[in-house]
Structures are given as C-alpha cells and as structure tokens.
Amino acid sequence: MLEFYESFQKCDIPTSLKGELFDGVGNPLNYLEELNKINILVGANNSGKSKLLREILRTQRDKYYSNNRKTEILNFLELINSKIKRLSHNLGGNRPYLNNDGKDVFNFEHFEQLITPFLTIAANYDINQLILTLKTAFSKDFKEFPPDNIRAQGSGHGNKPLDAQLSHNILQELANLKNIVTEKTSWLSEQQHSTFDTHKCIYIPSVRTLRPFARRSKISDETKREYGFGETINIYNGELMATDIQQLKNSNTGDRRKIKAFEKFLSEEFFDKKEIELTVPIGTDLINIKIGEEKEQPIHNLGDGLQMIIIITFPFFIYDCGFIGIEEPELFIHPGLQKELLKFFLHHPKTNNFQIFLSSHSNHILDAVNYTNKLSIFTVRKAYHKKTNDIEILPDFVVENVAYGNDNLLNLLGVTNTSVYLSNCTIWVEGITDRLYLQRIISQYVVSAHLKEEFKLYKHLQEGVNYSFALTAGDSIVHWDFSEDSSYEADRESIIVKKFCGKSLVIVDNDFGKNLGRKSRLKDLLAERFIELPVPETENLLSIITIKKTIIQYSTVAKAFPEISNLPEVDVEMLKHKKIGLLIDELLIKDEPGVKRFNKTGSGSLSPTDKLEFCRKSLEFIEAGNLTTDAISLAEIVLAFIIGQNKNAILP
C-alpha cells in the first residue's frame, strides 16, 4: 500500500480562499499541487501562511494522487476501451450481449456505457469504485465457455449462435483482457491507503504547554472558537496530555501499547536509551517523568525545547492516520534538535500514515530538503490589488512551490547568505586538476569493493551543500589564513578562511619535501586536517594502467604503441619517486622517436598546458578496480572528514 500522503498529492483551494490565491505570474490557483509527506509554508510575519495552513486542514479531504499515476490509469482505461470496441466491431458493431445456454458471458453494450463513468471515476480519484466496476465486468471465467454454443443477442443479432472459430477468438481475447484487468486492479489496489476512512485532522497551534488549566482545555477551546473549527478538527497543544496519559494507561491493551511506544521513542531519541516512564499522580493534573535511575520529577522541569518536542510528537502515537498542521515547530528548540524533529517526521514509522503541514521561519528546518524527496516548500506572500468601487485594498496571496537554494526563501525568512546555504566544510586542493582527480577517485571508491561501512553515508551527501572544493593555487596558499582565532585588522594581508567557508581540510603535494616550513606551520594550525600526499603530485595517485590508457589517447603515442601491452611494465613504487611527466618519458615511451614528450619543463611535472588535457583524458580510466593504495587512503581520509562535519545533517 502507498504511504498516506501519496493519495493526497494536491488539494483543492479552500472555498474561503477562492479568488485570493495566485501563482507567481498572477494566475488564480484552483489547486495546491506537488504536495508531499512534509509541506513547509514559508513567509514573512503576517504573510498568510498560517491562514493557508488552517484552511488546508479544514478542507483537505479529496484524494489526489500524482499526475503521473493518474495518467497511467487513464491510459490503461483507454487501452481496455479500444480493445473492447475492436471486439465489438468484429461481432458486427452492434454491441451485442453474449450468452451461453442462458448464462451471461459478456455485455459489450453495458461495458461501453460504463467507459465514460470509468473515466470520470479515475478523474475523481475514486479508485475503489473503479476496481469494483472493472472486476464485475470481467468476473466470468471465459475459458470455461464452449466456443461452439456462444450466442450474440441484441439489435441485429437476434439470438444467433456465432461461428465456432469467431467465438473461440472472442473468448480468448476476453480472457487476455481479464488477465490485464486482474493485474492492473491489483496495482490499483496498491494505490489506495488502507486506513483512509479513519483519518484525523489535527492542528497544533503555536501556543503550546504541558501545564493544565483545571482540566479544561482553555487555549484549545478558544483556538477552535476563534478559527471556526468544527468537530472534525482536533486541537492539540499539550494542555490535556496529563488526561490523555491517564486514559491510555488505564485503558485496553492497545492503548497501553501506544503510551509504551511513545515512552520508548523518547528513551531512544532524546534520553540516551535510559528507560522513560510518564505518570500522572492521583488527584493532580501534572505529568511526572522518570528518567532511568533518576528521581521522578515534574515534566515541566525539563528544558522548554524538549517539552515542545514531546507535545509535537505525541499525537503521532495516539492517532493512527491523518493530516497534522503544526505552527512554527521550531519554537524554543535548539537547531540540532530541530533537525532531530525533522528526522522523526521523515523516517519514523509512526509518521507514515500522516501528511504534515508546517509553517516555519527556520532555515534549519529548510535544510532538510537536501536529504529527502518527501518534502515540499511553498512560499507565501501578500500581493495587493485594489477592489472595484472600494477605496480600501484587500490583500491577495501568492503561493509558489520553490526549490532549495532559491534566494526568495532567504528574503522571506529575513536572513542573508551568511547564515544559510553555505557548505558545511571545504576541501582545499592546489589546482583544478587536483579537484577533478579527487572527485573521480572518491566516486569510484564508493562503488568499489574497498568501500568501508562507515563511509556508505556519503551517498546521501551533496557537493555544494555538505562540502565544497576550493583552490589554494599552489604557492598562493601563503595568502590564506587557516587559523581558528584570527581577526581582521586594517593592515592585514592574508585572507581569513573561516570568515567565508566551513571547516577546512587542506591537501598539498609532497613535492619531494619542498616548502617544509610552510607545511610545518599548516600542520600546527590544522593538525589532522592538514594532509600532505605520500606521492610527489596528485597525478601520482593514478595507477600505472590508468596512465598507460591515458597516454595512448595521444596520436603520436598511439602510433608508436598501438596496444597497451606494447608499453613496458613499470613498478608501482616508481609513482613515489618520479613525477608523472618524467615517469612517462623515462619509463614508458623512453627514447621512441616522434612521440610526444610529457616532461617539457624539466621539473618532472606535466607542463601547465598539458596538465588539464591529460587530466580530462585520464578521468574515464580511473575506475573502481584500479585505484592505488594511496588513492584509496586519501579517499577515506576525505570521506571521514566530510561525514564528520555533517553529523547533524538529516540522514536516513
């Protein structure tokens, strides 16, 4: 079965907002589309996002699966319809009713009368009715009917027996169609959520508390009255949690399991797996919490952030299915715990049967969009249009579905690029080819047999979000200050790295011991975040086979050495002792006349003009099966750094 939200991937614009909501180019909205498991409404204060959230909760009832799924269903119905029409045409085109000794076989006329309702049913997303109608139309076992006694009854047919061969063909086609229908109705059944009929609508307002008011939900009552909520919407703000706990603990086995599951969740996620017990002493309205071996204490002694998390997550354990709208879930909650809360919404089994709507000002919550395809962000802002014959102006609202990184989000949140959308860490390498080599080595390492368990999380991380590459430009590294406690002064020449990027890992060439003083200072500043390669240059991380495959891409080398096997063998240890240009010239192509030379500068390195071309030719030959030991080691160091700097990321 689908997760609950997959049956509600768009919603009708509430009647109360018709004519007030527009898309980004000014067109009136009839639907809010591309809804997801989690839907975040972002906007400035008084932008209308909370009003939209409440109205969605008030009216979200009709099922709307994705447009792709709807198109697939309609295409299937058109296929069945075309096949039935063809069979009817083969029988004379008068839509006969087939029978066998008075037993119904198939009524073509009745089916063709149903096809329009079929399409309407599919367009209205009423899959259950569609399944029932299809199964009824193809309920017979067509293979059981003898082909020599099939009669066509109806206009122009009387009750004449059909030719036996024609009957056989018709019955075979109907049997084939039944197989298609059976397979497709099974698929259609999977498009329905099994607990749809039991769903709840739950609204969690911004005013939340675990302190009771004489066992009366005063805040909840006022919220329901002010917003005109009927009995179909449950207001939950924590006021009556003590009453809920008492009822669950003194009810049937199923209810007692709900509270035990919630206590277990709190234990595992927020209290280091210490046993948690929630109790309400007789004659009081206060909740007590016992944490492991600690003395029992009132729950309001916990930090406000934990209290907010308890209030927000509790409904997912006491209700089975439905829509939950939460106003500003980030209130009082530390950024790290905000991300834990998002992990709960995204991945905890108790949330699978819910569709969640949030209004928020938190860039930490927005950060979750990088790690899931189950989250949609909608911006909400006011737009003013003067009403005819009215000196006053009433606001309309512009609602847009936006992607992560959209600068409009920053403006609506009132923040700048210095607070969001920066990578969590930076890997510094000397030049562009070093970056290209390292990217390719890592991409091949993570699909290789060498991949270690702790590095499998890397597949969830993205360059530009979780990490970025930067270039020191060789000797220009002296202009970068990697100190953690530097500050700018008027006559300062070096650039303070920490001011514009995340934690840094610096990788430099060995270069046969060159610049030892500079490297020593960087080692003192960065400790394990300073990496000196065990080989002269990044190109020396390539395997001998990769180097051979690369150089024969040059025409003069290929002419002299048509096959890789024509090139001499080279000991892999030579990669540590000769720069790549010298290694190729001395050990591979040697004195072969008329062949391109790679050590043009005399330094042993590739020339600046050759470096990038050689790199681009070599990348496709750096493969998971031919990574050198040094390349694997470097990949693991970089991955450990990246994953370590993304511990608070929203990961599965």
Q: In this structure, what token pair is assigned to residue 575?
A: 């990669």
Question: Domains of the chain, with CATH numbers?
Answer: 4-64+321-413 (3.40.50), 67-189 (no CATH), 425-532 (no CATH), 544-621 (no CATH)
Query: Which one has a higher pLDDT value, 459 or 188?
Result: 459
User: Which pLDDT does position 386 carry in this prediction?
Assistant: 53
Are 511 and 536 in contact by the 8 Å Cβ rule? The answer is: yes
Contact 338, 364 (CB under 8 A): yes
Report, as an integer, the average pLDDT of 69-77.
Answer: 74
Q: Which pLDDT score, from 0 to 100, does residue 144 have? A: 75
Using CA atoms, how far apart are residues 469 and 431, in angstroms rounded to an integer?
10
pLDDT exceeds 60 at position 221? yes
Burial class of residue 323 (count of CB atoms within 10 Å of its CB; 0-12, 13-18, 19+): buried
How many helices (DSSP H) and strands (DSSP E) are in the chain?
Answer: 19, 23
Strand ranges across the sheet with 503-508? 468-471, 425-429, 503-508, 530-532
Cα dihedral 20/219/378/404 (nearest 10): 160
For tokens 């295409």, name the residue.
75
- Segment 450-465 shows an average pLDDT of 83
pLDDT digits (tens, 9 = 90+) for 265-310: 999 988 889 999 999 998 888 899 999 999 999 998 888 999 999 9
CA distances (Å), 121 to each of 70, 118, 193, 297, 471, in order? 11, 5, 17, 56, 59
pLDDT of 140 higher than 80: no
Express each pLDDT in 563-583 by its tens digit: 999 999 999 999 989 999 999
Determine the pLDDT at residue 650.
Answer: 53
More confident call, 388 vs 141: 141
CB 245 within 8 A of CB 278: yes
Q: What is the largest CA-CA distance in the chain?
A: 106
Q: What is the mean pLDDT of residues 87-106?
A: 68
512 and 583 in contact (C-beta within 8 Å)? no
Task: Retrieve residue 350's tokens.
Answer: 């108790």
Mean pLDDT of 45-65: 81
Residue 126: pLDDT above 70? no
DSSP letters, 196-263, are GGG-EEEEE-S---S--STT--HHHHHHHHHTT--TTEEE-SSTTHHHHHHHHHTS-HHHHHHHHHHH
How many CB atoms sit inside 10 A of residue 246's CB? 17
pLDDT of residue 488: 46
Q: Work out the pLDDT band at 409, boundaries 50, 70, 90.
A: low
Return d(Cα 414, Cα 643) in angstroms, integer: 30
Residue 524 pLDDT: 76
Yes or no: say if 460 and 639 are a contact pair by the CB < 8 Å rule.
no
Give the global pTM. 0.62
